[in-house]
Amino acid sequence: MRSTAMWLAAAALGLLTLSSPAPAQTPPPAATPAPAPIFSFQEVMIPMRDGVKLQTVILAPLDAKGPLPILMQRTPYGVPDKAFTRVPINLRDLAADGYILVFQNIRGRFKSEGSFTLSEDSTVTPGKGTIETRDAYDTIDWLVKNVPANNGRVGIYGVSYDGMTAGVTLLGPHPALKAVSEQASPTDQWMNDDDHRYGALRLSYDFEYAVLEEADKNDNTHFAFDKWDTYEWYLNAGALSNLNAKYLHGKIRYWNEASEHPDYDAFWKNQAWAQSLHKASVPTLNVAGFWDQEDPWGPWDIFRHEGEHDPDHNALMVAGPWFHGGWRAAVSSVGATSLGQDTSLAFRRDIEAPFFAYWLHDKGDKPAYAANIFQTGSNAWRTYAKWPPADAKPTSLYFHADGSLSFEPPGGREKEAQRSFVSDPANPVPYRQRPISPTYPGGDWRTWESADQRFVDHRPDVLSYVSEPLKADVTIAGPVAAELFASTSGTDSDFIVKLIDVAPDNAEPPHWGDEGPIPGAFAHSANGYELPIAMEVRRGRYLESNEHPKALTPGKPTRWEVPLRDRDHVFKAGHRIMVQVQSTWFPLIDRNPQTFTPSIYAAKASDFVAATQKVYSAPDLASRIILPVVPPGT
């Protein structure tokens, strides 16, 4: 609509100009002809075994010299409506090898028949996979039999939801499926990834994404906020029950289902599809971003499940310094840190394209690594024959009551064995700097996980523990975890732990021109930048059981295990290591009332109370971060 209106305005202006007296002028040059398609375009409705037909677009290169493999993507977000006149940049390296490209809307989305709900699509039927496993099988079967000039080999790839539709093919692959690249696929929406983190609701994302996908079959719908700062909007909305009462009115099925299933029951377990994966049935390139704000956990989960039986070493892991799907964009920096290269281009050119070329074209060599990872800090690609590397040793970095952080455990003469703060649900810690724009379509959401954490480290409800400047590099490679000993004056609580790399403060602007600092340079300065390396939340009610929540005992020190996922990073000499601890992270994570209720979805306004939180540093209650430290020189 906007481009049409602009064209009409320009046309009207041209008519007015031509109708005015003017001297003769040289005729304008002829209009440049529209670029010609480089692919043929075909839209078909492919029948599934239950009679449902799925909208599918097939793009075949017009300059093909012989039979080509099929490379497909299955999505809820819509398919191309015309042939490509040029190959999108993020497909250029793949397309150079020659593929018939197939795009399909999954059932219930856009022109595809059938019903759609976010929960139903990933529910596992024992021995048959999910509905998407079966639909992919039927689609591949139809394609290899009906698409002209295909070589009988099929690959599938995709990011996020499209990554999930790629990943679930592993539960029951078609014989023609020869290569899978799931990228940022979710695997368990209660334990981690999009909707929850160990049972703690990812409020803003879950609410806004449920509306995005379920409000309209034929569109991706953005919730209509009446405030730009969603921190204020969600806070004013109050208890979770108000979101349905005031805004959704029971019309979004997935939000209703999440509200009805607060705990880790059969509803969530039946959707945890990777729990049914126990072998590398098809060569798989799993792709994860260390700063993925949506699905950072699933690819590692799939990789480990495939590793249960992988005699041919077909399960591969790739990870890099990327936000969600950043490997399909251009990423040459994280926060204020330059990486020295476009890591996303390197992935697509040197890892993804050769992977598919080997399995679908018989070109090149089989990848020899188990994991291929861009290590931040050193800013170099590293390959590993095994992940995690065998030489990485779990090493404790201890909290001390004076706010310091060191590899020495707390001694018996610590002046105070704990530090405390007051957590107030009426004034929660924002998860990124305000104003917090909507998740979609705003651009701030993509990169918040690499944002400078100095915006909260002065708050009285955030504890910071900081090491001395490092005398030598500290390299970590493998799973990171925190072990807190903490208490609350309430009967329920959250604790958020953030592992941070603090750059030296050299007081020098990073971008200095001939006439002084370039405008905006200091906003992206590395001086003292607090770069998050790992961040996670645990909810107290689920410390003993995910299925059966239990109230905390007020004032009782309790052990909190906080997994911080796999990392590959070098804390450089001269940097400091920081840990921040807080109890709110809003509106990314819903507010814990800090009063135990059977379901937080049913909590009343009166249940939300301030609580005093204590983090202990005594010899017998030694809070710590456990780092997989790699010895120097290995």
* CA angle 303–304–308, rounded 5-degree value: 115
Q: What is the residue-wise DSSP string for 14-66? A: HHHHHHS-----PPPPPPPPPPPPSEEEEEEEEEPTTS-EEEEEEEEETT--S
Burial class from Cβ neighbours inside 10 Å (0-12, 13-18, 19+) for residue 550 reads middle
| Contacting residues for 627 by C-beta, under 8 A, at least 6 apart | 394, 395, 396, 397, 474, 476, 480
- The beta strands (E) that lie in 265-314 are given as 284-289
Nearest-angstrom CA–CA distance, 569 and 578: 14
> pLDDT tens across 8-58, in order?
233 332 322 223 334 456 666 667 778 899 999 999 999 999 999 999 999
Start-end of H helices in 147-228: 161-167, 203-214
Residue 32 confidence (pLDDT): 75
Sole residue written with tokens 């030694």: 622
> For the structural domain made of 393-507+523-630, what CATH number should be given?
2.60.120.260
Nearest-angstrom CA–CA distance, 583 and 614: 11
Q: Residues in the chain with pLDDT < 70?
A: 1-30, 413-416, 507-524
Strand partners, 612: 422
Sole residue written with tokens 């590793």: 307
Q: How many CA atoms are closer than 13 Å to the CA of 337, on its beta-carbon side?
A: 27
> For the structural domain made of 198-269, what CATH number should be given?
1.10.3020.10
Nearest-angstrom CA–CA distance, 298 and 165: 13
Residue 509 confidence (pLDDT): 59
| Contacting residues for 362 by C-beta, under 8 A, at least 6 apart | none
Q: Is the peptide bond before 587 cis (omega within 30 degrees of 0)?
A: yes
> pLDDT tens across 228-278, in order?
999 999 999 999 999 999 999 999 999 999 999 999 999 999 999 999 999
Residue 524 confidence (pLDDT): 53
- The domain limits of the chain are 39-188+271-384, 198-269, 393-507+523-630
The closest alpha carbon to 123, from 265, 267, 298, 303, belongs to: 267
Contact 185, 298 (CB under 8 A): yes
Q: How many CA atoms are closer than 13 Å to the CA of 509, on its beta-carbon side?
A: 13
Q: Which long-range contacts (CB under 8 A, 24 or more apart) does 345-348 make?
A: 346/374, 346/381, 347/287, 347/318, 347/320, 348/90, 348/92, 348/93, 348/94
CB atoms within 10 A of CB 160: 23
Residue 520 confidence (pLDDT): 45
Contact 530, 500 (CB under 8 A): yes
Residue 62 confidence (pLDDT): 95
DSSP 350: I
Burial class from Cβ neighbours inside 10 Å (0-12, 13-18, 19+) for residue 189 reads buried
| Contacting residues for 531 by C-beta, under 8 A, at least 6 apart | 334, 335, 336, 337, 450, 452, 453, 500, 501, 502, 503
> pLDDT tens across 363-385, in order?
999 999 999 999 999 999 999 99
User: H helices then E strands: how many in the chain?
Assistant: 12, 28
Q: How far is CA 507 from CA 377, 469, 503, 516, 526, in A?
A: 20, 16, 11, 14, 9
Q: Is the peptide bond before 435 cis (omega within 30 degrees of 0)?
A: yes
> pLDDT tens across 282-340, in order?
999 999 999 999 999 999 999 999 999 999 999 999 999 999 999 999 999 999 999 99
Q: How many CA atoms are closer than 13 Å to the CA of 461, on its beta-carbon side?
A: 19
Q: What would be the CATH architecture of the domain defined by 39-188+271-384? A: 3-Layer(aba) Sandwich (3.40)
Residue 23 confidence (pLDDT): 45
Residue 3 confidence (pLDDT): 33
